[in-house]
Amino acid sequence: MSEGSGLSEPVLKDEARYWRGRAALAGLQLDLAADDLHPAFHGAIRRGDDELGFRAAIALAEVASRRAQFASAEEWLDHAEDALQRGQLGEVPLAQLELRRGEALSDAGRPAEALIALERALTTLQRALGPDAFELARVHLLRGIALRDLGRVDEAMQAFARDEEILRAAFGESHPSVVVPLNNRGAALLDLGRADEALALFQRGLAIRLRAYGRDHPRTAFSLSQIGEALADLRRHAEAEAALREALAIRLRILGPDHPDVAETLTGLGNLALEQRHHEEARRLLIEALRIRQAAYGADHEIVASAHRNLADAAREAGDLDTAELELGRAEAIWNAHLPAGHPKFETLQFDRGRLAEAREQLELAADHYTHALELTEQRLGAEDPKLAAILRALGHVQLLRGERTAAVAALGRAATLPPAPRPLTPERIASAHFDMARALWPESPIRARGEAAVAAEALKNSSSPADTALLREIEAWRAAH
């Protein structure tokens, strides 16, 4: 090192470790990132370099979040806050702390708390840099994600639009950075059941990425995946599969067969196969997605739990109830170990437990699980949220099977009065709900019962799937007998 440079060797080493760790984190090489960021943090703190200590602690909080170690993420954020206060680092680092805190809370499934932190970050940055500063773009993006998770989709759309405005002003209409808010707006539109509009935004984003990166690029593959999701929502299954297959081919070529993005595409293809009742193909794809995620994240990561849950769903649909029980138990063990109480995954777990018990014809147990799922979801979202409808329909169906027709009418009737579900129901689900109501109403209200059965039959008249055809025959047989 040259004389008079003003920097000691330990300072340079710690800075080098920090930037090497950040580079590894950007590439999702979490172990390598931690190996460099830990000594960078401790070296900085020993020397009283609070600014570097702050940056390293923020990065380590992100490492912990990506590992689904949410308590550890909070501890690193506390270390960052200590360094911030000791070093009196100013308002912009304070906003960065709140931004990272909001992102960590969002990752942990706590969007209401995340939104509070992100609003603090927004206020601080606007005060320090002005309302149109480029640094505000990411705050608006994360606010939109938190608002979407809270079901406040219209507000989320406004946040994503503001993010897009700032990026367009900085880079122009066709810069690749603009695609991120475009895609998030598209995802919010899918939540609202507006898949045609979402598809148009995803296609616009794909066109920008094709010009910027070409066909063989991971970001192009991501856009194709989102197009596949929108097409699946539109029940354009062949086109959805083609888009997802192309995304998979790109990711395999560029990233290799063991990259987590490959698992994401395999999951999309598996869910699409499951929707079309191609059970063996669905299980094959989802097993491979699970393998990749276990290798990438370890056996007890939250995203691995979701892969177990997907596989449990596929096994149950295929009638392999023992495998479904096993995979759901694995997901539950991971969620219990890592997720805070009140996380939405526990509502999903209770619903899935109910479906599995119903498949085993354990109707009392199924009703208990559906009731618990209903209670948890009401506590989180309120009594009028559209997400309650699917649980109420499942509960009503089980009550009907148990001969509890008055309770079934109450549950199914309440489901019908809720606001429409964001994503349109399949014809089979519409028909099943109305057919359940018809049978629950009979014989006390024969006119209403026949009307419900007629609506059920009408929902299936244009469907050609074997399962829908079989259900339609059952409905028509009931109508003929009643």
Q: Is the pTM of this model over 0.75?
A: yes
- For residues 297, 299, 302, 303, the Cα torsion angle rounded to the nearest 10 degrees is 60
| Angle value at C-alpha 151, between 101 and 168, nearest 5 degrees | 65
d(CA 409, CA 452): 12
Rounded distance, CA 232 to CA 187, Å? 13
| Of 289, 311, 293, nearest in space to 301 by CA | 293
Please, are residues 77 and 57 in contact by the beta-carbon 8 Å criterion?
yes
pLDDT confidence of residue 149: 81
Residue 452 corresponds to which tokens in the numbers above?
């419900």
* pLDDT in the model for residue 3: 43
Taking a C-beta distance cutoff of 8 angstroms, is the pair 166, 159 a contact?
no
Both tokens of 40, joined, read 């960078």
Query: Could you report how far apart the first and last alpha carbons of the chain are, in Å?
Result: 93
In 3-state terms the chain splits into helix, strand, coil percentages (rounded to 5) of 80, 0, 20
**What's the pLDDT at 202?**
97
For the chain, state the CA radius of gyration.
25
Longest dimension (CA), the chain: 98
| Torsion from C-alpha of 120, 121, 122, 125, nearest 10 degrees | 120
- Yes or no: say if 224 and 187 are a contact pair by the CB < 8 Å rule: no
**What pLDDT is recorded for position 1?**
39
- DSSP letters spanning 289-325: HHHHHHHHH-TT-HHHHHHHHHHHHHHHHTT-HHHHH
Determine the pLDDT at residue 8. 63
Residue type, 213: Y
Q: What is the pLDDT of residue 224?
A: 97
Kind and range of the H or E run holding 481: helix 466-481
Q: Which residues contact 13 (CB under 8 A, 6 or more apart)?
A: 43
Helix/strand/coil for 276: coil
pLDDT along the chain (482 residues), means of 10: 54 91 85 93 92 93 84 91 87 89 84 91 90 89 89 88 92 91 91 89 96 93 96 92 97 91 95 93 96 88 91 96 97 88 88 97 98 94 89 97 97 91 78 95 94 94 84 94 95
Those residues whose C-beta lies under 8 Å from the C-beta of residue 59, and which sit 6 or more positions away, are: 18, 21, 22, 25, 33, 37
